[in-house]
Structure formats: C-alpha cells, structure tokens
C-alpha cells in the first residue's frame, strides 16, 4: 500500500524468511494492524536485552564523534533531513494516516511539523548562546557555556508518531547529543520509515550510525531505559501513568527527565466571542485526530447568555462531520487507534451519564463497509455540570463536555479545577477578559491562547504544561536548554589570586 513498507522491507535483516515479517529484533513477534481497515500492515519483532545493549553501546560511541562536530555543521545535517522529509512528505503523511488513523491532512501536517522543527534546529545550531557575567574580582571573567548531555532517550506516543520524535531529535542532535528512540508499540512502521530516511542522511555524510538509534518494544523497554544511568536524559511523551513511572525511575538515579504528559484542555467562550471564529476552533480541537491529541479540546466552558446559541451551532456542525477512511481527503475524522480506545470512549460516556451528564450528540460506534474494523465512533457532545468527577479525567476520544458559567472568574476556576495543565483557550473580543485569562489569576496551563483553539500549536513556542502534564518543555523557544548541561566558568587572567567575598587566606 505504501512505498515505505517495501523500502523498510528491503532494508530489514530477515525479510526474506517471511513475506509479512518486515522488521526483526530478537524479542517477541507482533502483528501490526491498521485501524483504518483492520488489515495487517506487517509483523515486527521487539528488541530483546541484547539488542538494547547493542543499540546503547553504538549510541555511546557515536556520541564521542558527534559531540566534536561544530554545532552549525550538526545543524546542516538537520537541514538535509528536513529536505529529505519535504521530498517524502506525501508518502510519510499517508503512512502516518494509515498506521495511526488520523486524517491525511493531519498526517501531512505532522510531517510539516517535522520539516519546520528541522529548519528551526538548523538556525538554532548557530544560536546556542551562553552568557558573560562581570566578576567581582579584578582581572577575572565569568562565563556560562553549554555542553551536550550525551544520550537522549526519546519515548513517544502513538498519537503523534513522528512529529514529537522530530521535536526531540532535532534539538537534541544540534546540541551535540545522540538519540535512542522508543516509539509507541502501536506505530512502529512510521518509526521505521523515519529511521530509514535519517539513516540515508547519516550514511551520505559518513557519520556514525549510532547518532540516532531505534528500539522497538513495549513498556518494558521504556522501563529499562528510564532505569539506565547511561541514558543522560529521558524525554517522555504519553500518559500521566506512564510519566509517573518514568519520573520515579529517573529520579531514583538522579537523572534528568523531560515529561510531556496528558492534557484536559478547555476553551472558555464568553458572551463577547465571535462564534464564526470559535465554532471551527472548537470542532478542530475536539474531533481532530479523533480526540486523541494531548491538546484536544475536552471541555467547553460557556457563558450562560450564549450557551443555547452555541449549542445549536455546534449540533449543526457535528451533524456535518464526515467520519470514515482518513486517507480519503473528504473525511474529517478517522478511527480510534484500537478496541481499548473504543471501550474507553463508551465507558466515559456511560460514566458521564451516571454522574448527571446529558448526551446531546454521538455515543455511537459506526460499522458497515465504509467503517470496517469497529473503531469508527461518532464524536460526542455531553452537557455537564461543573462538579462532575469525570471532568477531571482525560479520555483519549472525541468527547466534548459543555459546561455553563456566569462570571469570568468562575470560568477560570472551572478551567483550572483539573489535575492536568497543558493547553487552554479563551474566545472573546473584550480586552479585560482576555488579559484576566492571561494574568497570574488566569489559566494555569503551559499554553494559553486567545481566539485560537487548544490544539495545533506552532513549533516555535515551548510546548508542554504544568501539574500532571509533567512540567517539561519541548520544541521551540529556549527548550534546547533541557538538552544541554550548563557550565559556569571563572577565568583569572591576572597574577594574583583574590578570593571571592573578600576572604583573606594569606600564607
Ligand atoms: C501531542 O498531542 O502530543 O499542538 C502533540 C498540537 C500539535 C502537537 C500535539 N502541534 O496539537
């Protein structure tokens, strides 16, 4: 179906033994099925402990070479990778869509996000600035400089199977680190495709292959990585549960972790919102990637005066959604990733009803020839009361809760009353409302937007959030500092040895 599958097959070690076996580690075998149509994409074998050890040692020795290459030259490698991605954008976008189930538009958007971060990293490779401080001592100079950490372990999730890796990889690499990537066990083929493209660049530039390693496996590999002190930084994206385990393992060896975990994102719609702007933002936020973005809009906090009007507009928009094969450009929404996700969707709706919520749209699994595999669901709208327990939970499915408010301070209170703190938004044309939302009394999230939805962030900003979202920042701004170690240097260019704080120590 996809040219990449054949290319991966031709490049893999044991492909000739079994036509459907595309990648072979030495661990257990697993069939990977597309959520789009339930068809087998191929089989892979997870890595075992020996594979892991090999990948790690290859990475550590590559680091000794890579760290000595000037940062702008490392940036040039990212430029070449970005160009390669441009050339392969359609094919890789299709594979993302087929293996993960998001609409092909969003699959292409994800590859574009990779291209953007490669270009950002190329420019950044000339801007890893340190500081100079004035010393209190004569003939002394103080500087702060940055060095690479070593090996960066990247653990990524199925929902953004390629972009989140690229955010981490590109910044980590230009900083002089090498990377080992453990993608989600649900999306190994997009990972293999990325690895294939990057290894072509690494080979063409005669660089050591260990600059970027790929390890396929389940959470056990993630656990081994997080306990391994030979990995200098673990950057993990995924569920809060996973993040808590990683955090404890890394902290117990006093290692560094960067966590980007769950979100429970809300949009506040005030009576001063432009609904023509708000409705498409709500829709894209709530049903994009079938509600499986960490930035998906899960709660809508609406001023009571416009509640009914907005509800009617939303119902109309939801009725127009086309749900089906995500590779067909006409469809807005593809399938959920697997049966467990469908069960979580059904369970959350039932739970919301038990807690007093009222389903006003959706709550249905689609089947028939246009919806094979049992993973297509109708995006759901639920009218909720602000104190329902379910509102605190991130369900990775297209369920949107509608909650009424009276005062803006109440809206902020509802918005912040969840354990997660990733993304948030307000729609208003009133300065006092938007500034209150952005003030210290406002949103407690890592991302706070005005007249822009909760999802679809640009790579130029730092991406991540507070509270159970984990506190890490990836991608743009000065996130690069998480991938380097800081060194403070005091240099004496005089003949004496004056001590700081004026201390006398004469012999
Ligand atoms: C994620 O869901 O883990 O802001 C990442 C967005 C995308 C990235 C989402 N640029 O929705």
The answer to whether residues 460 and 441 touch, using CB atoms and an 8 Å cutoff, is: no
Encode burial over 245-273: b for 16+ CB neighbours within 10 A, e otherwise: ebbebbeeeebbbbbbbbbbbbbbbbebb
Pocket test for ligand 1, best of 294, 425, 476 (most atoms within 8 A of CB): 294
Integer Cα distance of 280 and 245 in angstroms: 37
Pocket test for ligand 1, best of 103, 297, 457 (most atoms within 8 A of CB): 457
Cα–Cα distances in Å, from 310 out to 269, 385, 410, 411?
Answer: 9, 17, 19, 16
Interval between CA 456 and ligand 1 midpoint (Å): 6
User: pLDDT tens for residues 343-387?
Assistant: 999 999 999 999 999 999 999 999 999 999 999 999 999 999 999
Interval between CA 105 and ligand 1 midpoint (Å): 14
Interval between CA 210 and ligand 1 midpoint (Å): 28
Looking at the CA of residue 423, tell me the nearest atom of ligand 1: 4
- The pTM of the full predicted model, rounded to 2 decimals, is 0.96
Return the residue whose CA atom lies nearest to atom 1 of ligand 1. Answer: 294
Burial label for 96, CB within 10 Å (0-12, 13-18, 19+), is buried
List the one residue out of 304, 322, 311 whose CA is nearest residue 278.
311
Angle at 118 between CA 112 and CA 124, to 5 degrees: 135
Output the six-digit token pair for 160: 């953004």
The answer to whether residues 470 and 259 touch, using CB atoms and an 8 Å cutoff, is: yes
Report the pLDDT averaged over residues 223-244. Answer: 97
User: pLDDT tens for residues 388-437?
Assistant: 999 999 999 999 999 999 999 999 999 999 999 999 999 999 999 999 99
Pocket test for ligand 1, best of 396, 463, 464 (most atoms within 8 A of CB): 463
Asked if pLDDT for residue 19 goes beyond 90, the answer is: no
Domains of the chain: 2-261+470-487 (3.40.605.10), 265-462 (3.40.309.10)
* Residues taking part in catalysis: 260, 294
Residue 13 pLDDT grade (very low, low, confident, very high; cuts 50, 70, 90) = low
Interval between CA 293 and ligand 1 midpoint (Å): 6
Residues with CB under 6 A from ligand 1: 113, 159-160, 164, 237, 293-295, 455-457
Integer Cα distance of 282 and 470 in angstroms: 25
- Could you tell me if residue 334 is left (phi over 0), alpha (psi between -120 and 50 degrees) or otherwise beta? beta
Task: Share the mean pLDDT of the chain.
Answer: 95
């Amino acid at each position: 179906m996809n040219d990449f599958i054949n290319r991966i097959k031709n490049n893999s070690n044991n492909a000739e033994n079994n036509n459907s076996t595309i990648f072979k580690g030495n661990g257990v075998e697993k069939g990977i099925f597309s959520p789009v149509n339930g068809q087998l994409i191929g089989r892979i074998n997870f890595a075992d402990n020996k594979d892991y050890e090999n990948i790690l040692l290859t990475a550590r020795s590559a680091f000794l070479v890579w760290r000595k290459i000037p940062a702008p030259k490392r940036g040039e490698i990212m430029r070449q990778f970005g160009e390669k991605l441009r050339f392969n954008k359609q094919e890789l976008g299709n594979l993302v869509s087929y293996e993960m189930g998001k609409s092909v538009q969003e699959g292409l958007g994800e590859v574009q996000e990779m291209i953007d971060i490669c270009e950002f990293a190329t420019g950044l490779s000339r801007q890893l600035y340190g500081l100079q401080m004035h010393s209190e001592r004569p003939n002394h100079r103080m500087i702060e400089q940055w060095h690479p950490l070593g090996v960066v372990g990247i653990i990524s999730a199925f929902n953004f199977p390629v972009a989140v890796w690229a955010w981490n990889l590109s910044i980590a690499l230009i900083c002089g680190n090498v990377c080992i990537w453990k993608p989600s066990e649900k999306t190994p083929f997009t990972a293999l495709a990325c690895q294939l493209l990057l290894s072509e660049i690494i080979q063409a530039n005669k660089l050591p292959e260990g600059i970027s390693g790929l390890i396929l496996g389940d959470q056990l590999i993630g656990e081994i990585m997080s306990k391994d002190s030979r990995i200098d930084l673990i950057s993990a994206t995924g569920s809060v549960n996973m993040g808590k385990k990683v955090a404890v393992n890394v902290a117990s060896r006093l290692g560094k972790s960067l966590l980007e975990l769950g979100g429970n994102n809300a949009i506040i719609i005030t009576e001063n919102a432009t609904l023509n702007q708000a409705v498409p933002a709500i829709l894209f936020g709530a049903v994009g990637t079938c509600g499986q973005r960490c930035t998906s809009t899960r709660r809508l906090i609406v001023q009571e005066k416009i509640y009914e009007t907005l509800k009617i507009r939303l119902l109309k928009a939801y009725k127009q959604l086309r749900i089906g094969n995500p590779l067909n450009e006409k469809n807005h929404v593809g399938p959920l990733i697997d049966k467990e996700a469908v069960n979580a969707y059904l369970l959350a709706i039932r739970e919301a009803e038990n807690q007093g919520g009222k389903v006003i749209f959706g709550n249905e699994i689609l089947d028939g020839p246009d919806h094979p595999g049992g993973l297509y669901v109708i995006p759901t709208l639920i009218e909720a009361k602000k104190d329902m327990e379910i509102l605190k939970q991130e369900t990775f499915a297209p369920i949107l809760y509608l909650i009424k408010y009276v005062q803006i301070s109440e809206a902020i209170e509802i918005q912040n009353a969840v354990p997660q703190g990733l993304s948030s938004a307000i729609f208003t044309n009133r300065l006092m409302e938007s500034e209150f939302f952005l003030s210290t009394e406002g949103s407690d999230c890592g991302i706070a937007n005005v007249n822009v939805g909760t999802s679809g962030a640009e790579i130029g900003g730092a991406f991540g959030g507070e509270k159970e979202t984990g506190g890490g920042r990836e991608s743009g701004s000065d996130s690069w500092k998480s991938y380097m170690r800081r060194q403070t240097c005091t240099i004496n260019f005089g003949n004496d040895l004056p001590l700081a704080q004026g201390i006398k120590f004469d012999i």
